[in-house]
């Protein structure tokens, strides 16, 4: 019998079981299942199609700890890298405070033991782009970041995680942020992926009173992408703006589970999450907002807007408001629509062909979030990737 390069169902099952066992061992916990509420809509089987092992340029992937990838990084004035005991002391502070340390994607990241990048910003740190380019080689590529802004400090930070060309990879990104009083951070994550790669992205933020956070995440093209922004306003009185945009095509799945918790009064949240779903793609949004009794006079607004481009695509969107305090404003809403036929006809009646009109409308839908990314993101031409003509 001639060996053919065909994977039979019988052969695939053990490979998936191997992958599952390897991931569970690395994370020290079994993969989440859809019986768990937080993963109800999210099928993790695309993770099992990624070859096991840590992505490394060598021929034999192993679980060896990779060398420090940050040595060549040049930082703007006002931003310094902490290493050694200083760094170790700070790492995990936001994960612990938000209860995210036990989340499976975070455990997986810890299991991969990436060399951490710990940054401290003392004043105006200007603008910094972190190109998170995975090394060559199939398998898992992980990054661990912590960004600490001291009182009154500022920073604009753009993360651009990307898979290595031609490699099947699972990207794991865990970012911790600590904002002291009156610190201001604009954080963008531009995650343009490929159909044979997955992304698990955790963002965990502690905010002190008077601090301002703008976090914008744009994601498209991944077989599976899971984004979990979690913000804790430790004593309230801070400003949180969250922007999300995810696009799915084919059989892709993108899932955003956000959580914002106010532990004190007079906190503000302004959240907009958008999704564009084409093909047989699936988009999931779950937005938790927690307002305990201590968080009087909280002002929170959450909106989920979704564009459905195909009758096979699927959108699941759910606000999850837990409000105990009685003197608060918490608004939320969700819309799912198709391209509006009257808008299309108006554009066509001006000589713009149907395809160009549809693109113009989709572009407008996306720009609403793209404009919140740091300016440096423009260089990556996100709109072309999002509209599927990169």
Partner 1 sequence: MIRPDAPVLLEIRDLQAAVDDQPILKGVNLTIRAGEIHAVMGRNGSGKSTLSKVLAGHPAYAVTGGSVLYRGENLLELDPEQRARIGLFLGFQYPVEIPGVSNLEFLRVATNARRAERGEEELDTFAFEDLVRERLAVVQMDPAFLERSVNEGFSGGEKKRNEILQMALLEPVVAILDETDSGLDIDALRIVAGGVNQLASPDNATLLITHYQRLLDLITPDHVHVMAAGRILRSGGKELALELERSGYDWVDQELARLGADAERQPAEVA
Which residues lie near partner 1 (CB under 8 A)?
A: 340-343, 345-354, 356-357, 360-361, 363-365, 367-368
Contact by Cβ (8 Å): 191, 163: no
Contacts of 305 (CB under 8 A, 6+ apart): 272, 273, 274, 275, 334, 335, 365
Shortest spacing between CB 182 and partner 1, in angstroms? 33
CB nearer to partner 1: pick between 308 and 369 = 369
Q: How far is CA 320 from CA 75, 259, 327, in A?
A: 39, 9, 18
Shortest spacing between CB 368 and partner 1, in angstroms? 6
CB nearer to partner 1: pick between 115 and 383 = 383
Angle (CA) 364 361 348, round 5°: 140
Shortest spacing between CB 276 and partner 1, in angstroms? 13
Contact by Cβ (8 Å): 99, 206: no
Contacts of 381 (CB under 8 A, 6+ apart): 390
CB nearer to partner 1: pick between 120 and 274 = 274
CB nearer to partner 1: pick between 74 and 341 = 341
Q: Give the integer Cα–Cα distance in Å for 160 and 187.
A: 11
Shortest spacing between CB 203 and partner 1, in angstroms? 26
Shortest spacing between CB 356 and partner 1, in angstroms? 7
Shortest spacing between CB 31 and partner 1, in angstroms? 39
CB nearer to partner 1: pick between 114 and 382 = 382
CB nearer to partner 1: pick between 68 and 381 = 381
Contacts of 201 (CB under 8 A, 6+ apart): 161, 171, 173, 189, 191, 217, 219, 225, 226, 227, 228
């Amino acid at each position: 019998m001639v060996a053919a390069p065909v994977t039979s169902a019988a052969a695939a099952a053990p490979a998936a079981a191997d992958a599952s066992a390897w991931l569970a061992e690395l994370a020290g916990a079994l993969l989440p299942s859809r019986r768990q509420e937080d993963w109800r809509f999210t099928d993790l089987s695309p993770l099992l199609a990624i070859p096991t092992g840590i992505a490394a340029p060598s021929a034999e992937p192993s679980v060896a700890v990779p060398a420090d990838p940050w040595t060549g990084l040049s930082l703007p004035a006002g931003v310094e890298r902490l290493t050694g005991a200083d760094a170790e002391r700070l790492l995990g502070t936001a994960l612990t405070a938000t209860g995210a340390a036990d989340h499976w994607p975070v455990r997986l990241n810890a299991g991969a033991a990436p060399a951490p990048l710990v940054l401290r910003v003392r004043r105006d740190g200007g603008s910094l782009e972190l190109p998170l380019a995975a090394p060559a080689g199939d398998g898992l590529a992980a990054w661990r970041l912590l960004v600490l802004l001291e009182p009154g400090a500022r920073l604009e930070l753009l993360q651009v995680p990307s898979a290595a060309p031609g490699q099947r990879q699972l990207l794991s990104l865990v970012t911790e942020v600590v904002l002291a009083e009156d610190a201001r951070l604009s954080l963008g994550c531009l995650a343009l992926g490929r159909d044979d790669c997955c992304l698990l992205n955790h963002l965990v933020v502690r905010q002190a009173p008077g601090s301002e956070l703008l976090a914008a995440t744009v994601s498209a093209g991944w077989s599976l992408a899971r984004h979990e922004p979690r913000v804790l306003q430790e004593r309230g009185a801070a400003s949180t703006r969250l922007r999300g945009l995810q696009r799915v095509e084919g059989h892709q799945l993108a899932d955003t589970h956000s959580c914002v918790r106010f532990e004190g009064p007079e906190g503000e949240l302004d959240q907009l999450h958008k999704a564009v779903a084409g093909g047989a793609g699936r988009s999931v949004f779950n937005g938790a907002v927690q307002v305990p009794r201590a968080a009087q006079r909280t002002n929170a607004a959450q909106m989920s807007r979704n564009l459905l481009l195909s009758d096979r695509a699927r959108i699941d969107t759910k606000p999850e408001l837990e409000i105990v305090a009685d003197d608060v404003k918490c608004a939320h809403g969700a819309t799912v629509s198709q391209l509006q036929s009257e808008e299309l006809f108006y554009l066509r009646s001006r000589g713009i062909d149907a395809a160009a009109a549809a693109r113009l409308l989709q572009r407008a839908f996306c720009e609403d979030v793209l404009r919140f990314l740091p300016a440096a993101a423009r260089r990556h031409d996100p709109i072309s990737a999002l509209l599927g003509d990169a």
